[in-house]
């Protein structure tokens, strides 16, 4: 059976306590469950274990320095948090808890935690008197009040020879807390979703086609966000250079007609689809005929004329009323000008429930890492509403959309 951690990116912060050596085993166990584990080792942590052992076990470079000039480590304090599904601080020393509670950012670990809005699981480990100290108790209470999760410490013989509470929680308990976090945060469990992504290629002859600049980044990010929230996701994608997202059933197609067929066969399966999101840039037209051999220059005196015929509209087809219609159908509108007006007209034409309008053009929308969305819906009185989201990465946009979807199903 696939582990719930299989499609997860975990950021493990290892601070400087004797229990740091146990984090090596934690990395191994998380990797065995298929999680991607990125690690920050504080200066204190590196007194107890080496960056080499951490990188060997995690299979990734270890992050240690806030001011590193190495290309892959630049802006790590922003990137590492952004890409993580959960941040785990294990062991969390008294010093680390104090930094977190008071918003210090004087090393990479504390800067990442301050620059993050991601969930945090804290596994404290320290001497029992340090743990009982009112300052430490106030710090952990502050962190819990802000929404951090806590596992341990457990009680027993401590490394300093004293007896009491302060031992790092058992690895099984830390793993159970991680699993518990992910099972609680899967509000789309039991929902079936279809996502289209990428361009379509419409063949002219065996070597040429009509295509567009869609990279699939937006659609793939949406598929990942939905699977992270527990949905069972089928992604129908045109040609892209992106890997198939973890945990997603991915069907690769080339033409609009193939995309429609794949979507319809997905919609015909049971249980019925709950959600369909059409983020693909589907060609509106295809060449009326496709030559079976390469068109050659010089075979006629003038360049060949291309006669186009209309492609099926996948979003409009999926939106049609009927027993197979998903409960929530979401389209995109890619506009180069008058974004909201054009998108509103498209919203009415296509018959979907929500439409995400985005500006496309030179260095905008297609192929970029960032995007800006205006979400168009209908209010209960039938009036159209526009909600413009701040510009953000396509992954963040995917997460925001997934949150709107969760609210839709929670009523």
Number of residues that bind ligand PMT (CB under 6 A): 30
Distance CA 394, CA 117 (A): 17
User: Within positions 199 to 238, which residues make up the interface with ligand PMT, using CB under 6 A?
Assistant: 214-219
What's the min distance (Å) between Cβ of 323 and ligand PMT?
Answer: 20
Structure tokens at 151: 């596992």
The residue among 225 and 314 lying less far from ligand PMT, judged by its C-beta, is 314
Structure tokens at 121: 């699981």
In terms of DSSP bridges, do strands 163-167 and 154-157 run parallel, antiparallel, or are they unpaired? Answer: antiparallel
User: Within positions 249 to 278, which residues make up the interface with ligand PMT, using CB under 6 A?
Assistant: 256, 278
Strand partners, 361: 364
Contact 150, 124 (CB under 8 A): yes
The residue among 73 and 218 lying less far from ligand PMT, judged by its C-beta, is 218
What's the min distance (Å) between Cβ of 116 and ligand PMT?
Answer: 25
Q: Which helix (H) or strand (E) holds 407?
A: helix 394-410
The residue among 171 and 384 lying less far from ligand PMT, judged by its C-beta, is 384
As a whole number of Å, the CA-based R_g of the chain is: 25
User: Within positions 319 to 358, which residues make up the interface with ligand PMT, using CB under 6 A?
Assistant: 331-334, 346, 350, 358
* Binding range to ligand PMT, per CB under 6 A, among 22-30, 202-210, 244-252, 280-288: 280-288
What's the min distance (Å) between Cβ of 72 and ligand PMT?
Answer: 23
The residue among 87 and 281 lying less far from ligand PMT, judged by its C-beta, is 281
Distance CA 42, CA 28 (A): 19
Structure tokens at 4: 């719930």
Binder to ligand PMT among 151, 195, 282, 398 (CB under 6 A)?
282
What's the min distance (Å) between Cβ of 188 and ligand PMT?
Answer: 20
Distance CA 287, CA 204 (A): 6
What's the min distance (Å) between Cβ of 364 and ligand PMT?
Answer: 9
Write down the catalytic residue from 160, 263, 266, 278. Answer: 160
What's the min distance (Å) between Cβ of 160 and ligand PMT?
Answer: 54
Sequence-distant (6+) residues with CB within 8 A of 300 are none
Q: Is 160 a catalytic residue?
A: yes
Structure tokens at 187: 């509000």
Binder to ligand PMT among 279, 375, 376, 398 (CB under 6 A)?
279
Contact 29, 58 (CB under 8 A): no
Binder to ligand PMT among 72, 106, 162, 284 (CB under 6 A)?
284
User: Within positions 301 to 320, which residues make up the interface with ligand PMT, using CB under 6 A?
Assistant: 311, 313-315
What's the min distance (Å) between Cβ of 331 and ligand PMT?
Answer: 4
- The Cβ of residue 217 has, within 10 Å, a number of other Cβ atoms equal to 23
CA 25 to chain centre: 27
The residue among 192 and 394 lying less far from ligand PMT, judged by its C-beta, is 394
Distance CA 11, CA 40 (A): 8
Binder to ligand PMT among 5, 113, 210, 280 (CB under 6 A)?
280
User: Within positions 361 to 390, which residues make up the interface with ligand PMT, using CB under 6 A?
Assistant: 365-367
Closest to 351 in 3D by CA, of 378, 375, 371: 378
Distance CA 261, CA 255 (A): 10
Place of tokens 């808890």: 97
The residue among 166 and 331 lying less far from ligand PMT, judged by its C-beta, is 331
Q: What letter does residue 73 receive in the DSSP assignment?
A: G
Does position 113 bind ligand PMT by CB under 6 A? Answer: no
The residue among 153 and 216 lying less far from ligand PMT, judged by its C-beta, is 216
Closest to 203 in 3D by CA, of 241, 254, 240: 254
Interaction mask 23-42, ligand PMT, x per CB under 6 A: --------------------
DSSP string, 109-126: HHHHHHT--S-EEEEE--
What's the min distance (Å) between Cβ of 196 and ligand PMT?
Answer: 6
- The Cβ of residue 63 has, within 10 Å, a number of other Cβ atoms equal to 26
Distance CA 366, CA 212 (A): 9
Question: Which ranges constitute the DSSP H helices of 69-193?
Answer: 76-82, 94-102, 108-114, 128-132, 134-145, 171-184
The residue among 93 and 374 lying less far from ligand PMT, judged by its C-beta, is 374
Residues that bind ligand PMT (CB under 6 A): 196, 214-219, 256, 278-282, 284, 311, 313-315, 331-334, 346, 350, 358, 360, 365-367, 394
Q: Which residues are catalytic?
A: 160
């Amino acid at each position: 059976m696939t582990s719930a951690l299989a499609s997860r990116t975990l950021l493990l912060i290892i601070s400087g306590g004797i229990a740091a050596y146990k984090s090596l085993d934690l990395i191994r166990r998380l990797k065995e469950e298929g999680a991607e584990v990125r690690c920050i080792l504080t200066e204190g942590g590196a007194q107890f274990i080496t960056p080499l052992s951490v990188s060997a076990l995690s299979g990734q470079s270890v992050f240690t320095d806030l001011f590193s000039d190495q290309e892959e480590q630049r802006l790590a304090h922003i990137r590492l948090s952004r890409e993580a599904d959960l941040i785990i601080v294990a062991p969390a020393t008294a010093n680390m808890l104090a930094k977190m509670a008071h918003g210090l950012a004087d090393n990479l670990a504390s800067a990442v935690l301050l620059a993050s809005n991601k969930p945090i699981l804290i596994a404290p480990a320290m001497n029992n008197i340090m743990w009982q100290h009112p300052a430490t108790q106030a710090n952990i209470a502050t962190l819990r009040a802000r929404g951090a999760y806590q596992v341990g410490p457990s009680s027993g013989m401590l490394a300093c020879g004293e007896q009491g509470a302060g031992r790092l929680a058992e690895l099984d308990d830390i793993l159970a807390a991680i699993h518990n976090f992910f099972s609680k945060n899967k509000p789309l469990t039991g929902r079936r979703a279809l996502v289209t992504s990428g361009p379509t290629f419409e063949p002219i002859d065996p070597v040429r086609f009509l295509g567009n600049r869609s990279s699939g980044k937006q659609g793939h990010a949406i598929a990942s966000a939905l699977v992270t929230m527990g949905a069972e996701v089928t992604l129908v994608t045109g040609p892209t250079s992106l890997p198939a997202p973890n945990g997603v059933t991915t069907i690769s197609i080339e033409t609009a007609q193939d995309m429609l067929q794949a979507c319809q066969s997905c919609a015909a399966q049971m249980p019925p689809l709950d959600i369909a999101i059409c983020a693909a840039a589907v060609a509106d037209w295809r060449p009326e005929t496709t030559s079976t051999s390469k068109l050659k220059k010089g075979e006629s005196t003038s360049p060949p004329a291309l006669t186009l015929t209309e492609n099926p509209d996948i979003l409009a087809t999926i939106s049609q009323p009927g027993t197979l219609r998903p409960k929530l159908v979401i389209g995109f509108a890619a506009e180069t000008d008058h974004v909201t007006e054009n998108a509103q007209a498209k919203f009415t034409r296509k018959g979907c429930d929500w439409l995400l309008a985005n500006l496309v053009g030179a260095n905008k929308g297609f192929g970029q890492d960032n995007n800006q969305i205006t979400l168009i819906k209908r209010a209960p009185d039938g009036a159209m509403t526009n909600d413009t989201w701040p510009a953000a990465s396509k992954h963040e946009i995917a997460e925001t959309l997934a949150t709107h979807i969760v609210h839709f199903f929670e009523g």
